Amino acid sequence: MKVRILILLIVLALLGGGAWLAKSIRDEPPETSFARVVREEISSAVPTNGKIEPVEWAEARAERSGTVQGILIERGAHVAKGAALAELDSSEARAELVAAQSRVSQVRAELETLDKGGRAADFNTINGEVERQRLELASARREHDTLQRLQSKQAATANEVTQARERIDRAQAQIRNLEQRRGVLTAPQDRTAAEARLRDAESAAALAEERIRKSVIRAPIAGTAYQFDLKPGAYLNAGDIVATIGELGRVRVKVFVDEPDLGRVAVGKPVLLTWDAVPGRKWTGTVDRRPMQIVALGTRQVGEVLCVIANPGEELLPGTNVNAEIIAEQVSGVLTIPKEAVRREQGQAGVFVLHTSGQRPRTVAWKTITLGVSSTTRAQVDGLKEGDAVALPSDKPLKDGMAVTPRFP
């Protein structure tokens, strides 16, 4: 019997202790997380995404068709304006050039001969015969003169004088005939034909030289060959793109800003880029141009904002998709709190501030605030002091004057 009474008393004591403990826990002020008001720099950003483009770029194209014989650079190489990128097979054009140059030399030699009166051997032969006939003419004239004097003295007959006269006529006729033959050697039509052949040969040589020149594909501008996938043996048609070259020290990013945020974007505003492929790396620049129209991007209505970004290491390549933040506003030395600490009561923004007195239990007081610039996580406030503790969201609703157990995460 005594044992039962003892057990009953123990049970009653335990129940009483549990009830007291439950009441104590229920009456304990709720645990609430707080954050301090701090003074710092804060930025309001327009988050978006975009794609990298070169500011200045040009395409190197094949000027003629042909098979790729040599690759002279690699993708990503820095090239000067006019630098050789690749070479097409030019063996046929070089053979044509040698043949054309040979024809040029031959025709020029013919023209030189014509300038001297004709072919040298024929010209010399005729000249020699003309000289011989002139000697013959001189001899015939002397003989004719002599016979005439003798005839006057009755020492020569009229027939002998006549024969001497005929000798003179034959010599003169021979000289005229030879001079006509010499004139035929340098006829105007011969020079005209030779000059036409020379022009044809020179045109063929120039065409071959042009084909050889076009066999080398050169960079149209100085920069980085960021697109270059040519392989030896590939066949190119005239106009085919061989490489895309751009100046990558500065790049342009086309970012897509939702229509409601466009009013916060202005030329010259700072821009911050990140790229998922290079965690922790950031690039900076400025807004260069606002959009001229609104376009559809999926379900979004956006404006295409152009920004210029410094890319000293040239890590950002054209076509890269990046994350972008346009800094719409930026202030320094202002009081800020976590955005989640801001509450609204009857349309008025405010926070619950922890009393600074040493009273126990600690209580919170409702205080209205004025909001300023907001970032993704923090907000500028007026109406608080540096070091004030503001309540963060909790499961238990707070009220003005409510006791709490503060915690500072």
- Identify whether 22 is part of a domain: no
**Both 400 and 306 in a single domain?**
no
**Both 179 and 317 in a single domain?**
no
**Both 280 and 357 in a single domain?**
no
The whole-number mean pLDDT for each consecutive block of 10 residues of the chain, a chain of 409 residues, reads 65 55 58 95 89 93 95 93 95 92 88 66 74 86 86 82 85 82 63 86 93 95 93 94 94 92 92 93 95 89 94 91 92 94 92 81 92 90 94 91 89
**Both 34 and 127 in a single domain?**
no
**Both 355 and 312 in a single domain?**
no
- Identify whether 254 is part of a domain: yes
In order of 24, 288, 355, 386, the CA distances from 338 in angstroms are: 33, 32, 19, 13
- Identify whether 8 is part of a domain: no
Residue from 219, 293, 207, 228 nearest 256 by CA: 293
**Both 267 and 298 in a single domain?**
yes
Q: What domain count does the chain have? A: 4
HEC string for 250-293? EEEEEEEEEHHHHHHCCCCCEEEEECCCCCCCEEEEEEEECCCC
Token readout for 94 is: 């070089």
Looking up residue 118, the CATH number of its domain turns out to be 1.10.287.620
Against a cut of 0.95, is the pTM above it? no
Contact status, residue 80 vs residue 363, Cβ threshold 8 Å: no
Question: What pLDDT sits at residue 182?
Answer: 67
Question: What pLDDT sits at residue 359?
Answer: 65
Looking up residue 363, the CATH number of its domain turns out to be 2.40.420.20
3-state percent helix, strand, coil for the chain, nearest multiple of 5: 35, 35, 25
Residue where the block lists tokens 């956006």? 302
Choosing from 328, 343, 358, the residue where a domain stops is 328
Looking up residue 228, the CATH number of its domain turns out to be 2.40.50.100
Q: Give the contacts of 343 (CB within 8 A, at least 6 positions apart).
A: 349, 350, 351, 352
Range of the domain at 317: 45-57+247-328
- Identify whether 400 is part of a domain: yes
Choosing from 293, 328, 363, the residue where a domain stops is 328
Residue from 125, 127, 119 nearest 194 by CA: 119
Looking up residue 308, the CATH number of its domain turns out to be 2.40.30.170
**Both 287 and 339 in a single domain?**
no
One-letter amino acid at 144 equals H
- Identify whether 23 is part of a domain: no
C-alpha to C-alpha distance for 285 and 308, rounded to whole angstroms: 6
- Identify whether 122 is part of a domain: yes
